[in-house]
Amino acid sequence: MRKLVILKSLVDFIWIVTCIPGIPLLLFFMVFVFINPDSVNFVIDTGVSKTEASTLQVQLIALVLVVLCFIGIYCLYLFRKTLRYFQQVKPFHEDVIANFYKIGYLLSGIGISALMVFFLARLFVDNKFRIQLGISSYLLIVCLGLFFMVLSEVFKVAKHAKEENELTV
């Protein structure tokens, strides 16, 4: 139980320190990028000046990245919610299984979307066709998403086995 308390405390700390201030900052950045497109270079190192890249392309890439950040914040919120069920000793609750599946589905989507966005950004903004083979953070996010989906299936099977065991007693 101590490990669960430490995990919940760490997740809450990350939530308070990064996510709560991050939401208004991301909203501000989403609006500010349409007012001043050069602000993207402040946050994301594109290495390309405004004259070389289309302003609309840079704005759309920044907008998609902000949406992916919001989805990541929502995944962390679902994880916090799931940890609350674990603290209440309800690991086989329907919401736990559904949250694990949602987290997995969304994380896999974030990883694949970010991989495509950065590939297209390199292609259209930097005018470079480059494919990276090997371990990348996007691949790890997809793997983490698939792990949560498998975890959801494991909890579903365990819940079914638990209910079946309770009926036989």
Q: What is the pLDDT along the chain (169 residues), one digit of tens a residue?
A: 799 999 999 999 999 999 999 999 999 888 888 887 776 666 555 454 444 567 787 788 888 999 999 999 999 999 999 999 999 999 999 999 999 999 999 999 999 999 998 888 888 777 777 777 778 888 999 999 999 999 999 999 999 998 888 877 5
Tokens representing residue 141 in the block? 């996010």
Torsion sign across C-alpha atoms 8, 69, 134, 148: positive
pLDDT at 42: 62
Residue 133, classed as helix, strand or coil, is coil
Question: Do 7 and 29 form a contact (C-beta atoms < 8 A)?
Answer: no
Q: Which domain holds residue 140?
A: 2-168
Number of domains into which the chain is organized: 1
Question: Do 61 and 125 form a contact (C-beta atoms < 8 A)?
Answer: yes
Alpha carbon distance 141, 43 (integer Å): 21
Q: pTM for this structure?
A: 0.85
Alpha carbon distance 67, 23 (integer Å): 11
Instruction: Look at residues 58, 149, 82, 79 and name the one whose alpha carbon lies nearest to residue 109.
Output: 149
- Burial (Cβ within 10 Å: 0-12, 13-18, ≥19) of residue 38: exposed
Tokens representing residue 152 in the block? 């959801």
pLDDT at 51: 45
